Amino acid sequence: MPFLALDSGVSNPMEEAVQSSHAGLVEKVANYLREHIVMDHFQPGQRLPERTLAVELQVSRTPLREALKILATEGLVVISPHRGAVVAEVSPTDIKEKAYVLSVLEQAAAELTCLNASDDDIAELQALHYEMKACFLRRDRQSYFRLNQEIHNRIVALSGNTALIDMHTNLSRQLYRVRYLSNQKNEKWATAMEEHEAIMAALESRDPEQAGRELRNHLGKTWIKYANGEPIA
Amino acid sequence: MPFLALDSGVSNPMEEAVQSSHAGLVEKVANYLREHIVMDHFQPGQRLPERTLAVELQVSRTPLREALKILATEGLVVISPHRGAVVAEVSPTDIKEKAYVLSVLEQAAAELTCLNASDDDIAELQALHYEMKACFLRRDRQSYFRLNQEIHNRIVALSGNTALIDMHTNLSRQLYRVRYLSNQKNEKWATAMEEHEAIMAALESRDPEQAGRELRNHLGKTWIKYANGEPIA
DNA sequence: GTGCCAAGAATGGCATACCATTTTGGTCCT
DNA sequence: AGGACCAAAATGGTATGCCATTCTTGGCAC
């Protein structure tokens, strides 16, 4: 069975992986695999045999191999010589380490955002924040999660530092699975919400040190819990 | 001819790219190209045509292409559809941005190192520091540069955070060229040396905040100069 | 019955062939 | 003489085939 045929019997699984339809095939394959890895449709440790995947995706092995190499350098899969590619296992240690770096990156981004963002940008951030608060009050975890992600990403985006943004995007992807699962069973939801209030206040008052500290603290608290208990997924 | 004939007259350009001789070809090619790019043996903007490079390195296009994809995700080359790979241009903006992220990463590393490193580790750092100071007094820029790099890398390594180490390694590579050229014409050499003294003092007294701040300040000062003036290389 | 070994099947690594797109240089028209 | 257009060559993109290594499994010996 084509492993993700959403509807038709013979449809190609890579439908929406097309970003601007004349993108290279390897990008499509890479995007497709990346998407499914971070969305946890592939279990960690699962093998990704070239030939079978190639026929399922209806591409040849060459672009698939190149896509796998890319994902390997991104840390989403690991390739062993003559043993092929498997979806990267994320150990609790990995998560802790990457989450720590993520918090450092977002701290730096918050500082820059305080200095660089326009008042309109901050206002939009506030708007998203209140939207998120509404979701919190309605106990709508799904939308809360989406808006939370959106806010964090936007703070980083507003930093204006492309290198920082790219590295954050990459790291964030690697933690997406855990981030999502974490959100589902976070008992300290109210605390997280309060921390977001503090972050927004600091951003609004344009206090780089404070904003950075609050954000880093927030991420530290949010993550360490789930990195310490072993069975994340 | 096996492309790694170490002695024969028509030896192939990739001699020392071997890390543990039974590594995959693409790794060798990637290491080789990476080395030559960061060492500035390839000019930024220079095209890297697959076929000619392949015959020069005596490999086929397949592993070469995979290596280029890897270098592209690392940011060392850029690949345009149907136009091939060129050595990435490093704009002053790029340098500033990446240097900023580097300083943030090293700041975080210094904090962790204060907490995690053993006394012996710190002592070894001190030893390297004094070696470097000796080079400074002898005006030996070459050795100073090497030891400086070594110290920075070791501080990061001692953090114990693998994710942080990897990201730092990658960024550091991308800035190697500029770092090297910067060292050659740095007039504020004495200042840099003093800052290193301060960093070491903070590490020795195990003051994370202070060590991080000193290191970030040091990097900020060292780099901004060369990022603002346009003609780096 | 269990453990080891060998042969074959499976899988990844590399090379090459073919196709699509882009670049180029030359010619013809204005 | 200059520019536009077309063809041919160059170059990247994809597919496929062959070889080396690894995994699997069936049989034999203990």
Residue-range domain boundaries for chain B: 25-87, 92-228
Given CB atoms, is B70 within the 8 Å cutoff of chain A?
yes
Q: What is the pLDDT of residue A230?
A: 41
pLDDT above 70: percentage of residues in chain A: 85
Does B232 have pLDDT greater than 60?
no
DSSP string covering A133-160 = HHHHHTT-HHHHHHHHHHHHHHHHHHT-
- How many alpha carbons lie under 13 Å from residue B30 in its C-beta half-sphere? 23
Given CB atoms, is A162 within the 8 Å cutoff of chain B?
yes
- Find, among A73, A92, A104, the residue nearest to A170 by Cα: A73
Does A135 have pLDDT greater than 60?
yes
Does A208 have pLDDT greater than 70?
yes
Structure tokens at B7: 């002695």
Among all protein residues, pick the one whose CA is nearest to the C1' atom of C23: B83
The stretch B8-16 carries a mean pLDDT of 55
Strand D interface, A 70-129, C-beta < 7 A:
81-83
- How many alpha carbons lie under 13 Å from residue B130 in its C-beta half-sphere? 5
* Cα gap B25→B58, rounded to integer Å: 11
CB atoms within 10 A of CB B31: 18
Least-confidence region, from A71-75, A137-141, B154-158, B217-221: B217-221
Fold match flag (A25-87 vs A92-228)? no
Given CB atoms, is A78 within the 8 Å cutoff of chain B?
no
The stretch A197-219 carries a mean pLDDT of 96
Say if residues B87 and B44 touch (Cβ distance below 8 Å): yes
Q: Which residue shows structure tokens 């013979």?
A: A10
Closest Cβ opposite residue A24 in set B23, B81, B107: B81
DSSP string covering A164-195 = HHHHHHHHHHHTHHHHHHHHHT-S-HHHHHHH
Cβ-based burial of B25 (10 A; exposed 0-12, middle 13-18, buried ≥19): middle
Does A183 have pLDDT greater than 90?
no
Say if residues B218 and B199 touch (Cβ distance below 8 Å): yes
- Chain A positions touching B70 (Cβ under 8 A) are 69-70, 72-73
CATH number, domain B25-87: 1.10.10.10
- Which three-class secondary structure state does DSSP give residue B77? strand
Residue type, position B171, single letter:
L
Does A228 have pLDDT greater than 70?
no
Q: Considering the entire predicted model, what is its pTM?
A: 0.87
Q: What is the pLDDT of residue B180?
A: 82
Q: What is the pLDDT of residue B1?
A: 30
Q: Which residues contact B185 (CB under 8 A, 6 or more apart)?
A: none
pLDDT above 70: percentage of residues in chain B: 85
* φ, ψ dihedrals at B47, nearest 5°: -75, 150
Tell me the sheet residues that pair with B79. B85
- Chain A positions touching B162 (Cβ under 8 A) are 93-94, 97
CATH number of A92-228, picked from 2.60.40.10, 1.20.1280.50, 1.20.120.530, 3.60.15.10? 1.20.120.530
Q: What is the pLDDT of residue A158?
A: 97
Do A70 and B69 make contact, defined as CB atoms within 8 angstroms?
A: yes
Residue type, position A209, single letter:
E
Per-residue pLDDT tens for A117-126?
Answer: 999 999 999 9
Per-residue pLDDT tens for B93-126?
Answer: 999 999 999 999 999 999 999 999 999 999 999 9
Among all protein residues, pick the one whose CA is nearest to the C1' atom of C13: A82
Does B169 have pLDDT greater than 50?
yes
The stretch A153-165 carries a mean pLDDT of 97
Q: What is the pLDDT of residue B9?
A: 41
